Structure 1
Amino acid sequence: MASHTDPRSLFTNHHAWLQSWLVRKMGNSFDAADLAQDVFMRVLTRQHTQPLGEPRAYLSTIAKNLMVDHWRRRALEKAWLETLAAMPEAETPAPEQRLMFLETLMEIDRVLDALKPPVRKAFLLAQLDGYTCPQIAKELQVSLATAERYISRALKQCYSLRFES
């Protein structure tokens, strides 16, 4: 008998259920099918040493995390398309550049999402609102040294994107 940790067994026993569950959550079968595939790809890349007591709970947890990523990506794409639509036609980037910019935005979003909330807020205050470190310290009610550390951490994470690619 196949183990509950065996990806083939998980797929055989739970794929139809997972896809139905995702259709209800996502509202369409196309996105649900893509996400179900992504869930099982994640399962394949993880090493399981113990049997899963609740395989559906495990699969749905992975699916929920992927749905959050999916909706975040959609919101980012929508904002990017709105930005492009507002640009004068002469300044609109070429299709290859558009894709490159969108992929870069998604990577930055991924990096920022991984930061602790105060670090992310400090970085966004500096980058989007033009706050100085003393202003950030006051806004976040932390010391100047802490505000500077927050900015430094966030910048290091963003710079690391250049070396991952």
Structure 2
Amino acid sequence: MSGSPKLEDIYRAHHPWLSNWLQKRLGCHAQAADLAQDTFVKLITKPKKFPNLQEAKAFVTTIAKGLCIDHWRRKQIEQAWLENLKLAEEYRHIDEVAQRAIIDTLIILDEWLAKLPDDVTRAFIASQVQGFTYAEIADQLQLSERTIKRYIAQALVHCAQLIDD
């Protein structure tokens, strides 16, 4: 093959390997198939030229690793929600469609908050989710109340900007 490999060559050369690789990591054939396809969809949406198939494989692997991390993170969020659902009597009546919407919202919020510094995220969650006062959060994080107010404002502005986008 001369020149850059085409997408179909990359797909043919690496899809079977990628599917097996993902299957070993995920333990689920269907999930592996979905993530393998998602990997190549990302490659289609952001085309890139590679000098050879080996370079393409390295890039495909990087994309797939990122998708695995996202998958596991979503699974952790979903599991945490379901565990909390068992403990919270007032939420037990929520139907599956509403639960899915809540989980999807939590996943999006997690992605947004992951872009903020850890202390800002902790302060925001403590305030908005756990209901702690600014003074309690300041005590927990060993920061001033003024800093906590600034952190909460920063997180709210960040989320508002992402909603606008």
CA distance in 2, matches of 1:51, 1:156: 43
Correspondence list, 1:32-47, <5 A: 32-47=32-47
Structure 1 residues not aligned, in runs of 5+: none
Match of 1:7 in 2: 7
- Equivalent residue of 1:54, what SS? helix
Distance 1:55 1:157, change over 3 A: same
1:77–1:24 CA distance, 2 compared to 1 (3 A): same
Structure 1 Cα separation of the partners of residues 150 and 69 of structure 2: 29
Give deviations 1:45-101, integer Å, cap 9, x for gaps.
114256466222211111111111111111222222333344548951233322222
Cα displacement (A) at 1:129: 4.2
Name the CA distance, whole Å, in 2 between partners of 1:80 and 1:146: 29
1:93 counterpart SS class: coil
Deviation (angstroms), 1:9: 2.3
Q: How does 1:44-63 map to 2 (within 5 A)?
A: 44-48=44-48, 51=51, 54-63=55-64
Residue 27 of structure 2 aligns with an amino acid whose one-letter code is G
Partner of 2:93 in structure 1? 92
Normalising by structure 1, we get a TM-score of 0.78
Partner of 2:25: 25
Q: Say if 1:103 and 1:61 are closer, same or farther in 2 by CA, change over 3 A.
A: same
RMSD value, Cα? 2.9
**What is the alpha-carbon distance in structure 1 between the residues aligned to residue 138 and residue 90 of structure 2?**
41
**1:102 counterpart residue number:** 103
> Is 1:122 aligned to residue 123 of structure 2?
yes
Question: Does structure 1 conserve the Cα–Cα contact (< 8 Å) formed by 2:50 and 2:56?
Answer: no
Q: Contact (CA 8 Å) 1:107, 1:161: kept in 2 or not?
A: no
> What SS does structure 2 have at the residue aligned with 1:118?
helix
Mean alpha-carbon deviation: is it higher for 70-79 or for 127-136? 127-136
Letter in 2 for 1:10: I
Q: 1:63 to 1:163 in 2, by over 3 A?
A: same
Q: How many percent identity over aligned positions?
A: 37
Aligned CA distance change for structure 1 residues 90 and 153 (closer, same or farther; 3 Å): closer
5+ residue gaps in structure 2?
A: none
Matched letter for residue 127 of structure 1:
Q
Task: Say which SS state the counterpart of residue 69 (structure 2) adopts.
Answer: helix
TM-score, L = length of structure 2? 0.78
